[in-house]
Amino acid sequence: MTARIVDSADVADSATIGDGSSVWHLAQVREDATLGEGCVVGRGAYIGTGVSLGDHCKIQNYALVYEPAKLADGVFIGPAAVLTNDTYPRAINPDGSLKSASDWEAVGVTIETGAAIGARAVCVAPVTIGAWATIAAGAVVTKDVPEFALMAGVPARRIGWVGRAGARLAQDGEEWTCPLTGQRYAETDGVLTEIEEIA
């Protein structure tokens, strides 16, 4: 299965688009960006130079994924979400001269497997979003996020836990349970781990 790139999309010749991926209207995929298999880049979304997406990622309409972001498999980026890349943003140098690419060093956001970033959320680089975490719509992430964390607010703070299915986990004594799948989790020192099910 080949990739689908609509005529109004702007995809650099050096970008790599995996089989079964789709790049929709007015989206831009910059030089040396890599999209895995089965990805979807929505209308007006931006994928920066050298950005790496795993398989089955969804980048929703008007999301901005600036280089050097790295997204693992199954990452969801909601509409108009932003992954930044400049720790100390300025248009000019202290002497008043216009900044060029050589005047700053880009830093990236890393998002691990299955994590979801809500609509209009901002991830301020450099941060790492743990696997299966969920960032609520409109949140501003300024610190690393643990796996399975549910984050909300400005700045974002952990307000609960979520499972692989995305539903908020319910506390059951010293364990946490997913209401959709029944998967159980244990929390130790602010880290959530899946409890192996006994066959």
| Predicted local confidence at residue 197, as pLDDT | 65
Q: Please identify which residue in the block is written with the tokens 């209009």.
A: 120
**What single letter denotes the amino acid at residue 83?**
L
Regions of the chain where pLDDT drops below 70: 197-199
Query: In sequence order, what are the beta bridge partners of 53?
Result: 35, 71
pLDDT in the model for residue 48: 98
Q: Which two tokens stand for residue 156?
A: 């974002």
The CA-based dihedral angle spanning residues 120, 193, 125, 112, taken in that order and rounded to the nearest 10 degrees: -80
CA distances from 23 to 65, 112, 118, 171 (A): 14, 22, 20, 40
Can you give the pLDDT at residue 44? 98
- C-alpha span between 34 and 51 (Å, rounded): 6
pLDDT, tens digit, 9 for 90 and up, residues 79-125? 999 999 999 999 999 999 999 988 889 999 999 999 999 999 999 99
Instruction: Give the model's pLDDT for residue 103.
Output: 85
In order of their start, the domains of the chain are: 4-162 (2.160.10.10)
